[in-house]
Chain A
């Protein structure tokens, strides 16, 4: 995807490389621009460099070559704490973040670190409790809540700092369908309000049903970057990375003419494309 001059970049990776101390090169020259309002699904096999790359976006890792710009500023000139005000990172395991005696205090932790005033902290926490529908649990110790609620608390705790970019590592893992749907609806609302979302997941249905842009990594290189439809329809390239798109896409490809390049992303689109068309005929 070439750089879009009409849109505001929030994160830019310029020839990004990262080699770990043991000599393993995890990233091999990534050029990537994330724009304000993007809803990105980041896909790749285990070991493809996804986690290494996103850790550069919030300063937890520094490039061994190349650059990372956060809202135009070189990330190496910013501390992780300063970047946290702009880029929120939700870890895969919520238990790695939770430590406070109540949900309310957990949500206050980030705003306090960000230097918000007491009034701003109160507003931010109330907003986070309401947005993530956990107001009734405000006084509860988060460590003893169920896993789905702990996941919501960890998300809300990052949201309360009011970053404009959210990076989420496998946010739906371990959640039942209803909880996952609820969480993704909230995340979708954040995106509709203008926040930028980067979602790492192995669940292709989540990518197809929620994200607008897909990025695929393999062996530390960026191999696909486009709209979710463009990326998911590129079945041959995805197969080379051992990634399988949802069955509805594979079925659409079999039912479509050879020159068709893009396919329905979900069952509803499939019905509109194939079933209703045939019924009309």
Chain B
């Protein structure tokens, strides 16, 4: 898994203004949270995957999202039927009926989790991190917060590299992580976490000195930017499509609560 999310391509999604992509990510996240229906959750997830495919993002750059969400989705599918009951009952666990509707709804909720992850990541796959920060600043975020965000995103892979190095260094000193006892396992991670924290603090100290020696903070009002962007007609069209799509979705599936046909029973 690489934490360098951005995949450089020349697709329709890459050419969109980063502000439009920010709006799209937010709209997709809201849609994922509002949708209850099994089929809508599935269509939303498939729709996002098709969107990424049309943006020429290769599957091996986003398949880690599935791997990361597998434990959570399995847990949801197993536990959801205990709390939601609908349709034919398969069996009882004590007084609790395990129903087909509960299982279907659990699967729908797991689709929702994966869709939420993809809604966040779709922005990062198709947008350079510097442009995300620039977009946030153009939308009103103070520059120093934008830079903090950029450094955080930039340093995620570096930090994971430090974790690997620190773990190897402690293994090389005979550290053995117990497999079974959770408390002992947590305690044995302390050398790794402490060394990592010290390395992180030292890094941040060096970084702040490096920023200040390059005039960071010298001129808040007159700060200039090397690369800039502006809205084109394709961006306004995209905004219009997103707005109409969100309006239709909200009207039919939230206000009118239209449900797609149940074919399971």
Contact = CB atoms under 8 A, between A and B. Distances in A.
Q: Which secondary structure dominates where chain B touches chain A?
A: helix
B47 interface: no
Nearest to B165: A96
B202 A113 contact: no
A132 interface: no
B194 A113 contact: no
A85 B130 CA distance: 47
Interface in B173-206: 173-176, 190-192, 194-195, 198-199, 202
A99 B176 CA distance: 16
A121 to B, nearest CB: 12
A153 interface: no
A142 B179 CA distance: 30
Contacts of A120: none
Nearest to A60: B168
A55 B175 CA distance: 16
Nearest to A22: B2
Contacts, number: 65
A256 interface: no
A172 interface: no
A84 interface: yes
A89 B192 CA distance: 16
A24 to B, nearest CB: 14
A95 B195 contact: yes
B172 A80 contact: yes
Nearest to A167: B172
Given A93-B165, A109-B191, A99 B198 contact: yes
A98 B198 contact: yes
Contact of A161 (B166, B174, B176, B195): B174
Given A97-B195, A98-B198, A110 B174 contact: yes
A125 interface: no
Nearest to B177: A81
A103 to B, nearest CB: 14
A271 interface: no
A97 B199 contact: no
A124 interface: no
A250 B91 CA distance: 85
B162 A96 contact: yes
A110 B191 CA distance: 11
Contacts of A113: 173-176
Contacts of A79: 176
A91 B172 contact: yes
B234 to A, nearest CB: 36
B96 interface: no
Interface of A: 55, 58, 60, 79-81, 84-85, 88-89, 91, 93, 95-100, 109-110, 113-114, 143, 157-158, 161
